[in-house]
């Protein structure tokens, strides 16, 4: 009998990670740092996605209906983790009670995204989300990019503001687990040997719109609305002056380079 939730476990390749970095607007090393800190790979040896079952999610989603009868998998506080394959035992118990709530109460894959976040990752329901997680790491990476952009965490990755990213991605307890410190350490490791692959950086001027404008605004630490209007132009000119660049309000190669190094 096939093992439930086992899939092809398709791995990531360099091209996929580089594309994700371009889509977010961050460096490749930043994406690799998240992979390292969250899971170091998306699958167990038996080709099931790595998961962590969160009993406090299940308790909330089922309105605490099972807190007394099934305290190991339904409690208002986090905990009870078994790790590795044993997390699937906990998930199976929850599925027997409420499949939808159970799938939404586990974090999945290389980026440990909660099933409850399926909508902001671009899926119509949690079953579709889980099927994607089972299919391989490329789908897990695409869900991560969608989650980061939908949650407005791309700015933190672009600026390498690890505390802000960890707070939004891992929750308010991130300091207790030193997620921000771990992310920064992993980033430095990967950045030291990272190939020179950068996000697409077109020439930008007033009137332009789109993701490249938003990435530039994030680097300027101003409102990232994706529109290069007068306010953005003034911010660009001020930045160019601070870096002894030609203050023409046009974002070309030298301004992009200065922004990336800032």
Whether 82 is in a domain gets the answer yes
Cα–Cα distance measured from residue 157 to residue 154, given in angstroms and rounded to the nearest whole number: 5
Are residue 51 and residue 173 in the same domain, yes or no? yes
Total domain count for the chain? 2
Whether 164 is in a domain gets the answer yes
Give the strand order in the sheet containing 113-114.
51-53, 106-108, 113-114
Whether 203 is in a domain gets the answer no
Q: Could you list the residue range(s) of the whole structural domain that residue 257 is in?
A: 211-261
Are residue 237 and residue 118 in the same domain, yes or no? no
Are residue 116 and residue 232 in the same domain, yes or no? no
| Mean pLDDT value across residues 153-160 | 91
Are residue 55 and residue 152 in the same domain, yes or no? yes
pTM: 0.74
Cα–Cα distance measured from residue 218 to residue 234, given in angstroms and rounded to the nearest whole number: 15
What is the tens place of the pLDDT at every residue in 18-77?
999 999 989 899 999 998 888 778 999 999 999 999 999 999 999 999 999 999 999 999
What is the tens place of the pLDDT at every residue in 67-118?
999 999 999 999 999 999 999 999 999 999 999 999 999 999 999 999 999 9
């Amino acid at each position: 009998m096939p093992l439930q939730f086992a899939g092809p476990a398709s791995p990531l390749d360099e091209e996929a990670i580089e594309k994700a970095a371009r889509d977010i607007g961050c460096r490749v090393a930043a994406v690799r740092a998240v992979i390292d800190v969250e899971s170091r790979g998306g699958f167990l040896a038996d080709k099931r996605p790595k998961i962590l079952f969160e009993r406090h999610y299940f308790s909330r989603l089922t309105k605490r209906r099972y807190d007394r009868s099934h305290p190991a998998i339904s409690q208002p506080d986090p905990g009870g983790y078994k790790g590795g394959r044993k997390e699937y035992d906990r998930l199976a118990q929850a599925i027997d009670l409420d499949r939808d709530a159970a799938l939404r109460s586990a974090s999945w894959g290389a980026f440990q995204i909660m099933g409850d976040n399926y909508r902001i990752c671009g899926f119509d329901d949690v079953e579709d989300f889980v099927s994607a997680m089972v299919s391989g790491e490329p789908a897990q990476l695409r869900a991560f990019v969608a989650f980061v952009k939908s949650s407005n965490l791309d700015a933190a990755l672009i600026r390498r503001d690890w505390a802000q990213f960890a707070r939004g991605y891992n929750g308010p307890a991130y300091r207790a687990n030193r997620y921000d410190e771990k992310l920064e350490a992993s980033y430095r490791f990967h950045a030291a040997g990272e190939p020179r692959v950068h996000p697409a950086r077109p020439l930008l001027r007033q009137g332009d719109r789109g993701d490249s404008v938003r990435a530039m605004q994030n680097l300027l630490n101003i409102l990232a609305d994706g529109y290069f209007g007068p306010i953005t132009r003034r911010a660009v000119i001020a930045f160019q002056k601070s870096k002894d660049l030609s203050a023409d309000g046009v974002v070309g190669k030298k301004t992009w380079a200065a922004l990336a190094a800032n």
